[in-house]
């Protein structure tokens, strides 16, 4: 069992997420922009809930339940 998994957007698949859930693994990955929720969050970010992380970049955190797996997302733009 891997406790922490980091990968690019190709790792973010329903099948992989189910494995992470079963194995109780923590993961960090880029959510593909083909995921409707990710696209909506990026282009309709609640600006009043964002924080500047460095000059020119803002971020906010939210939750998602994609593929039946509860997740915490950090959206950076």
Cβ atoms of 49 and 67 within 8 Å: the answer is: no
- The per-residue pLDDT for 2 is 63
- The per-residue pLDDT for 1 is 59
Give per-10-residue mean pLDDT for the chain (77 aa). 87 97 95 95 89 96 96 95
> CA 15 to CA 43: how far, in whole Å?
27
Q: pTM for the complete prediction?
A: 0.85
Sign for the pseudo-dihedral over CA of 3, 6, 72, 57: positive
- The per-residue pLDDT for 45 is 85
- The per-residue pLDDT for 10 is 97
């Amino acid at each position: 069992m891997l406790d922490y998994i980091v990968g690019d957007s190709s790792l973010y698949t329903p099948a992989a997420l189910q494995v992470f859930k079963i194995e109780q693994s923590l993961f960090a990955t880029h959510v593909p922009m083909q995921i409707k929720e990710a696209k909506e969050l990026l282009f309709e970010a609640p600006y009043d809930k964002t924080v500047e992380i460095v000059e020119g970049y803002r971020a906010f955190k939210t939750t998602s339940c994609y593929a039946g797996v509860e997740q915490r997302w950090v959206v950076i733009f």
